[in-house]
Structures are given as C-alpha cells and as structure tokens.
Chain A
Amino acid sequence: MAKAVENTTVVHAMFDDDHRLLDAAKNLVAKGVRIKEVYSPFPVHGIDPVIGIKRTRMAIVSFMFGMTGLSLGLLGMWYFMIYDWPMNIGGKPSFSLLENLPAFIPVAFEFTVFCAAHGMVITYILRNGTLPGMPAVNPDPRTTDDKFVMEISNVDNPTLEFEELGGMLKAEGAIEINQKSLATK
C-alpha cells in the first residue's frame, strides 16, 4: 500500500427518516456513488441490495451446527448406552441404536437445537464484531436513537468530488453532512 499516502476521507450524511435514506441511497447508487455503510437504529428493510450487501449465511451456519449436534448426540448415546455399558433398564432393548432409538429422540432433538442455536449465536457475535468491551463505531450517538447515517468514503469513489457529493446529499434531504479525514498508516 505504498501508493495510499493520501488521507482517507469519509462523508457522513445524516437523515431523519428511514424511507428518505433508502430513496437517497437508491438515487446516489444510480448516479454511480458507492455507499460504504449505513448506520441505523433499527433494520432499514431494502437497504441491503442497494448498498451491495449479500444475503447472510447465518441460517446455513445454524443448520450445520444442528447437524453436528444431532450426530454428536446420537454418537454419544450409542456409546454410553449401547457400546460402553449396556444395561437392561425396565426391559427396554439396549442392543442396538436402532432398537433404542425411540427413547433417544428427545435428547437427540434437544442437543440438535442446543448446538444449532448456540453455534449460530457465537458465529453471529464473532462475525458482527460484537463482544463485551468492543468499542462502538457508529459515527454519531443519535444513530441508535432516531437518526440514520450513510457513510461514503473516497476510497470507494476515487473520481467523486466532495462538493458535488455534498450537493447531491443536500438535494436528497440529508439534514447534516460531516466530512472526516482518517489518517492512513
């Protein structure tokens, strides 16, 4: 990265309505502006395809953890009850996993849910970068209350003039526009 001696500048445009932000994002993207990030107090539906966010794979993660849980649960019960120490409990058959399967369904189900839920949530927290003690990076404290901020960086838009961008954002109804220079290493 020897070439990037120039400062990174980001523009934060604040909106006071989720639909206005969504319309503004659509119009800006149509004009070729790339939006880096959107900060909002609640999910703004429809913003993801506009700013180029792909569908999350959390559900697939959950499914895979669930399958792992099911396999581990069944393997465990087979080992404990059939292989390691088979016992005759109330005359219930304990010679093969299949014969004893009805009695294993509840625990197999619970362990599947346990692994699917916790595996997914741990992945979610790690992927989101939200852990206890992590610093918040929202540009303005009001974005967790009632304001919506769009972040546009000059790295993504090398040809864009900031004066021009400011005009576009004003026209779209931004209530505050802040320009911030981030020092590059």
Chain B
Amino acid sequence: MHKEAAIRTPLILGDKTYHDITSDVVGPIEGKASKTWYLLITVAGIIALWGLGCVVYLISTGIGVWGLNKTVGWAWDITNFVWWVGIGHAGTLISAVLLLFRQKWRMAINRSAEAMTIFAVMMAALFPGIHMGRIWVAYWVLPLPNTFGSLWVNFNSPLLWDVFAISTYFTVSLVFWYIGLIPDFATIRDRMTTPISKKIYGLLSFGWSGKAKQWTRFEEVSLVLAGLATPLVFSVHSIVSFDFATSVIPGWHTTIFPPYFVSGAVFSGFAMVLTLLLIMRKVMGFENYITVKHVEYMNIVIIVTGSIVGVAYITELFMSWYSGVEYESYAFINRFSGPYMWSYWTMMTCNVLSPQLFWFKKLRTNLTFTFIISIVVNIGMWFERFVIIVTSIHRDYVPSSWSMFYPTWVDVGIFVGTIGIFFTLFLMFARFFPVLALNELKTILKVSGEKYKKEDH
C-alpha cells in the first residue's frame, strides 16, 4: 500500500467509509432538488434564453447588429471566445496534468472541473460559429470535396488550425470525462430504486460491471488520455494565440503569446473552478471533500500563473520599446494611456495585483476572500483579451480610420447569455451527475483520509 506522510494534510475529512463517499455524492441525486437549485436554474435559464434569442436575432439579421466597424472587425466575439476557451483549460490541467504528477488533491475537483471545461468550450465554439454570419455553411471549415472546383481550406491559416485544435480539444475532453463517469454511473445505477432512473443510469453506465480487467484498462486509458491531453491543452491555447501572433498587427505580432496565453488560460480557469466549487461545496455539503486545503492548492496555482501573466505583460511592454518599432511602441503607449486605458488598468489591477494577495496564508485560506478574488480574476482576464484585441486595432496605421468600439445590446446580450447557458448546463450537471469522482476518491481514502491517517499513528 502506498504510504503518505502523517503531517500531510488529509484530503478527505471526517470519519468516512467507502459507503459514506457513495452516499454523500449520490444522495443529492436521489433526493429532491432544493429550492435554491430551482431558483438558480430559473435565473440561469432565463438569461440563457435571452442569450439564445440574441443569437437568433444576430443570425437572422446579420453581423451588423454588433458594434463592429471597419477598423474594429474583431471585438467582443473573439474576446469571449478566447475567454471561454481559457476557462476551459483549468479542467484539463486538473484532470490531465495533475494526474501525471500524481497529485491526489485533484480527485475531489476533477469531475466538476472537467464538466466546466466541456461547457466552457461549448460556449467558446459558439462565437466563431456565429461570427461567420452564415452559420448554415459552417461545415465549409472542413476539408470536404466540393462543387466549387478543387477548392480546399487553407492549412496555412491559424484560423483553420483553430478548427482542428478546438474540435480535438472538445471531443477528447468529452471522452476523457465520460470514461471517468462510466463507473460512477454504474454506482448510481446499482443504488437507484425507481425503474426509470435505474434504466437511464443503466444506459449511461454502458453496463459497467467493475471487473478487474476493466479496471486495469480503465487506469491505463486514463493515463494515456492524460498524456495526450497534456500537450493538447498547451497546443490549443498556443494555437488560439497564433490567431493573433501570426498576424502583422502591432500589439499582436509577438512571439511571447503562446506561453502567455496558456498561463493566462490556466489562471482564469482555476478562478472559475473556485467560483463554481466554493458555491457547490456549500450548497451540496461537500466540505469534507473539497477542503480548505484544496482551495489553498488552487490559490497557489493562481499565484504562480498570475505572476507569469504579470511578467508577460511587463515583457511585452519592454519589448515594444526595445524593438524600436514605432508602430509597436505606439500600440502599447495607446494601451496604457489611450482612450482604453481604463480597461488596461483594470486588467493590470485584477490580474497582476490581486492574486499577489494570496501570498498571505490568512487570505488564501479564507473562502469568502478567495471567492471574491476568483471573480475579480475572471473580470481581469476578460479585459486582458479585450485589451489585446480591441486596443491593438482601433488605432491602425491610417489615423483617418481610427475609431472606437461600442458594444450594442446584442453584443452584451450574447455574452451574458453564454454565462446563463454555462450555468444552466453546470446546474443540470450538479443535479444529475456524480459531481465528485467516486471511484477515484475511494482509491485515496485509505492513503489521505483523516480517519485512516489517525489510525496509522
């Protein structure tokens, strides 16, 4: 048996047995949903419907209903796209990278973090889709034989790399998540008493029986998928950053972008995981599984990635001066002192200063403070993408075409709507799915459970 040092903080608190873990996680699925859940899903659902309405209006009317103009051709749509993809990255980081590093604390958070990834990537994929204008020809992004002569998609274009990156990322994350869910659905199936829910969970569990050979394959497949998802997650946000980095726009044309975007993605993703889990642990009573230690570990990741992002901002600023390219310098002078300086300084405060407060142990173990910072970080990260995208293009080479971007109600409606859709999906997940990875938690109970640690010494 694997031993763990007694001084290491236990990851499962209380006097838990294997059966307790099952009951604690499956209990909320068997019982009736709480009033809070109905209230939250109603609010989220209304916002989601509003967002979908805006999307329908956009598609039926045209991209002109957005605030875009000749100079600012990319604004909130791509900002939201990058923001949502970035949020998704924490889930893969938790499920794949931390698995490879054998971090046991991931067991309590990976399932919901992966769900967050999938929902966030769905929201992200919406934006390039609706930005196409004619969404019904969206399949033209694929290299399909066609009637227009042998006209193929351009494999030199980072936008096409995005198509491959995002679709691979989405499907691989989905499969990774579902592979882990199958044994847990089997647990629910075997506990359910009503024939309908037994049938549904039976279908979802694919007839999993927990044979020794199945478990061997399960562990191997999880490990290999983690090994594949780890470079994948780095590649996806690198490719997203190539959308900008391979262009010749001052402010975008930077080699620092791939690592800068990846760490920013992990930074905002962990913040979103914290926002969701801090609510979930409270509402569903998972205080014994998602402990203060888990929150502290995540806050440490936030300090590290937040600091990398801060260094990247300063490097970028330095390089714009050191390069001696006047357009490049102007792009950055305009960022911090131009008409969008408020968004630049919001970004700086939220992303560079606020996470540094987590150096104090008192603050990073304070749940209310963590919750506030987690939201602040996501606001900051949204502004980061806005700053990169809009402030780099709103004043281009020809001053006569300089302009500003003002969002319309459709811009706002769709962005707020995606938040609504995201939360609706997450609430559905929290209601019907095993939100903690049962089978994985059980494997660490004897090693990291509080009760077993005490008995050993």
Any chain B CB within 8 A of the CB of A133?
Answer: yes
Chain B residue at smallest Cβ distance from A47: B212
Contacts A131-B206, A133-B207, A145-B22 hold; do A84 and B150 have CB atoms under 8 A apart?
yes
Stretch with Cβ within 8 A of B (4 or more), from A2-10, A51-59, A174-182: A51-59
Cβ-neighbour of B172 out of A42, A94, A113 (below 8 A): A113
Contact with B along A97-111 (1 / 0, CB 8 A): 000100110110111
Task: Let me know if A1 is at the binding interface, CB within 8 A.
Answer: no
Q: Is the CB of B22 within 8 A of A44?
A: no
Q: Is the CB of A77 within 8 A of B190?
A: no
A42-B442, A89-B154 known; A136+B224 contact, CB < 8 A: no
**Interface window among B68-76, B175-183, B339-347, B361-369:** B175-183
**Residues in A whose Cβ lies below 8 Å from that of B325:** none
A135 CB within 8 Å of chain B: yes
Give bound CA distance, A40 to B232, whole Å. 32
Chain A nearest CB, measured from B178 CB (Å): 9
Query: How many residues from B make CB contacts under 8 Å with A?
Result: 70
| A136 near B209: Cβ-Cβ < 8 Å | yes
Taking CB atoms, residues of chain B closer than 8 Å to A45 are 443
A141:B191 contact, CB within 8 angstroms:
yes
Instruction: Known A106-B235, A121-B221, A144-B186; judge A37-B206 contact (CB<8 A).
Output: no
Asked if A136 and B155 sit within 8 Å, CB to CB, the answer is no
> Are A56 and B216 in contact, with the CB atoms below 8 A?
yes
Selecting from B114-122, B159-167, B377-385, B411-419, the interface stretch reads B159-167
Distance of B207 from chain A, by nearest CB (Å) = 3
Q: A56-B220, A62-B224 are in contact. Are A80 and B190 (CB under 8 A)?
A: no
Using known A-B contacts A84-B152, A121-B179, determine if residue A138 contacts B22 with beta carbons closer than 8 Å. no
The residues of A that contact B231 with a CB separation of less than 8 Å are 109, 113
Query: Does A128 lie within 8 Å of B22, measured CB to CB?
Result: no
Q: Given A113-B232, A136-B207, does the pair A107, B164 have CB atoms closer than 8 Å? A: yes
Q: Which residues on B sit within 8 Å (CB–CB) of A131?
A: 206-207
| Nearest CB in chain B to that of A58: its residue | B220
Is the pair B179, A124 in contact by a Cβ cutoff of 8 Å? yes
The distance in angstroms between the C-alpha atoms of A51 and B213, with both chains bound, is 10
Q: How far, in Å, is A88 (CB) from chain B's closest CB?
A: 10
Cα A69 to Cα B71 in complex, Å, equals: 40
Contact across chains for B143 and A76 when beta carbons are under 8 A apart = yes
Pairs across A and B, CB under 8 Å, 22 listed: A39-B210, A40-B215, A42-B438, A43-B216, A48-B212, A58-B221, A59-B223, A80-B143, A89-B154, A107-B161, A113-B168, A117-B171, A117-B175, A121-B225, A124-B218, A134-B206, A137-B207, A141-B190, A143-B209, A145-B190, A146-B17, A146-B18
